[in-house]
């Protein structure tokens, strides 16, 4: 019986030093943030577990007396996520192209990227407060909050897909005398469309979860009911609302997975 030796190529020195630098920087960052993040309080999760258990026991008897109201408000939350995601994708496509180095010049790319950074950096709740002041209470403020925040996220994801696309089809189309717009439409978009669809569906799933809390500031949906019941110590009602949210998110996740298999 003969054995075949497996040859493992040596790791280049530059790669070894790069890995060492990465892990060293990570260790320094973890040590630097240990006390500010109060990680030293982790033992309280064990020593005060009894307090957590007593508090959590109040959620063990869900009260579904107003389940129709919970479902109705949850559907409004889904509607907010649908429109917020749609608008983010609709406006994110042209902005992602303008933020891609292989499509637009640097003097266009950098301002667009900084604008998208600002959209991503500000949380949906902050945007929700601003739009509640601007357009009043209700789901429309939630739609706009989801839209603006996700515009930055979608544009970033889409632009990375564009920059990772194969340049050879674009070069072939350019050789025929096509315009820059034709290069994008026929050379880049067909390559990145599967990724764009996948990213869009994933963001919709995330937005359903994110939109559940926008009602806290009056931006519509089930968040307002959830906040009121938590603030009033109505544990049974709060548990019922959370179950409705979990079931809705799970159903949307299953549907989204099926759609990705069909579309991507």
Query: How far is 169 from 246, CA to CA, in rounded Å?
Result: 44
What's residue 165's pLDDT? 83
Query: How far is 31 from 84, CA to CA, in rounded Å?
Result: 39
What's residue 146's pLDDT? 92
What's residue 191's pLDDT? 86
What's residue 90's pLDDT? 93
* Structural domain contains residue 160: yes
* Structural domain contains residue 135: yes
What's residue 46's pLDDT? 73
Shared domain for 85 and 209, answered yes or no, is: yes
Shared domain for 27 and 120, answered yes or no, is: no
Give phi and psi for 38, each to the nearest 5: 55, 40
Shared domain for 43 and 73, answered yes or no, is: no
What's residue 195's pLDDT? 85
What's residue 218's pLDDT? 79
Shared domain for 45 and 157, answered yes or no, is: no
* Structural domain contains residue 63: no
Shared domain for 20 and 74, answered yes or no, is: no
Q: Are 256 and 81 in contact (CB under 8 A)?
A: no
Shared domain for 85 and 159, answered yes or no, is: yes
* Structural domain contains residue 241: yes
* Structural domain contains residue 230: yes
* Structural domain contains residue 3: no
* Structural domain contains residue 146: yes
What's residue 50's pLDDT? 64
Q: Are 213 and 260 in contact (CB under 8 A)?
A: no
- State in Å, rounded, how far the first CA of the chain is from the last one: 47
Q: Domain residues for 36?
A: 13-50
What's residue 79's pLDDT? 92
| Helix 235-263 vs helix 223-231: crossing angle, to nearest 10 | 150
* CATH number of 259's domain: 1.10.3720.10
Residue-level pLDDT, tens digit, the chain, 264 residues: 555 555 566 667 777 778 888 889 999 998 998 888 888 787 877 776 666 676 667 677 788 888 888 888 899 999 999 999 999 999 999 999 999 888 888 889 899 999 999 998 888 888 888 888 888 888 898 899 999 999 999 999 999 988 888 888 888 888 887 788 888 888 888 888 888 888 888 889 889 888 888 888 877 788 888 888 888 878 888 888 888 988 998 898 888 888 877 766
Number of domains making up the chain: 2
Query: How far is 100 from 157, CA to CA, in rounded Å?
Result: 11
Shared domain for 161 and 259, answered yes or no, is: yes
Q: Are 240 and 67 in contact (CB under 8 A)?
A: yes
Q: Are 209 and 119 in contact (CB under 8 A)?
A: no
* Structural domain contains residue 60: no
Query: How far is 146 from 37, CA to CA, in rounded Å?
Result: 29
Q: Are 215 and 41 in contact (CB under 8 A)?
A: no
Of 22, 50, 78, the last residue of a domain is 50
- Between the CA atoms of 212, 213, 217 and 219, what dihedral angle is there, to the nearest 10 degrees? -20
What's residue 9's pLDDT? 66
């Amino acid at each position: 019986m003969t054995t075949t030796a497996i040859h493992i190529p040596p790791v280049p020195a530059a790669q070894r030093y790069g890995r060492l630098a990465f892990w060293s920087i990570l260790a320094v960052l973890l040590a630097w943030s240990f006390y500010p993040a109060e990680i030293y309080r982790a033992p309280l999760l064990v020593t005060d577990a009894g307090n957590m258990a007593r508090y959590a026991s109040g959620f063990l008897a869900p009260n579904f007396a107003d389940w129709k109201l919970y479902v109705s408000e949850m559907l409004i939350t889904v509607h907010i996520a649908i429109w917020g995601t749609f608008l983010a994708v609709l406006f994110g496509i042209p902005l992602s192209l303008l933020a891609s180095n292989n499509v637009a010049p640097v003097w266009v790319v950098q301002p667009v990227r900084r604008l998208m950074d600002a959209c991503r950096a500000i949380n949906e709740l902050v945007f929700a407060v601003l739009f509640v002041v601007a357009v009043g209470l209700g789901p429309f403020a939630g739609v706009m909050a989801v839209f603006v925040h996700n515009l930055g996220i979608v544009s970033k994801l889409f632009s990375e897909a564009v920059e990772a696309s194969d340049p050879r089809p674009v070069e072939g189309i350019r050789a025929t005398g096509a315009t820059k717009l034709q290069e994008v439409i026929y050379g880049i978009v067909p390559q990145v469309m599967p990724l764009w669809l996948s990213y869009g569906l994933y963001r919709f799933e995330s937005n359903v979860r994110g939109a559940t809390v926008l009602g806290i500031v009056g931006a519509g949906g089930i968040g307002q009911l959830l906040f009121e019941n938590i603030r009033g110590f109505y544990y049974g009602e709060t548990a019922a609302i959370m179950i409705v949210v979990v079931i809705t998110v799970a159903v949307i996740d299953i549907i989204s997975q099926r759609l990705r298999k069909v579309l991507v």
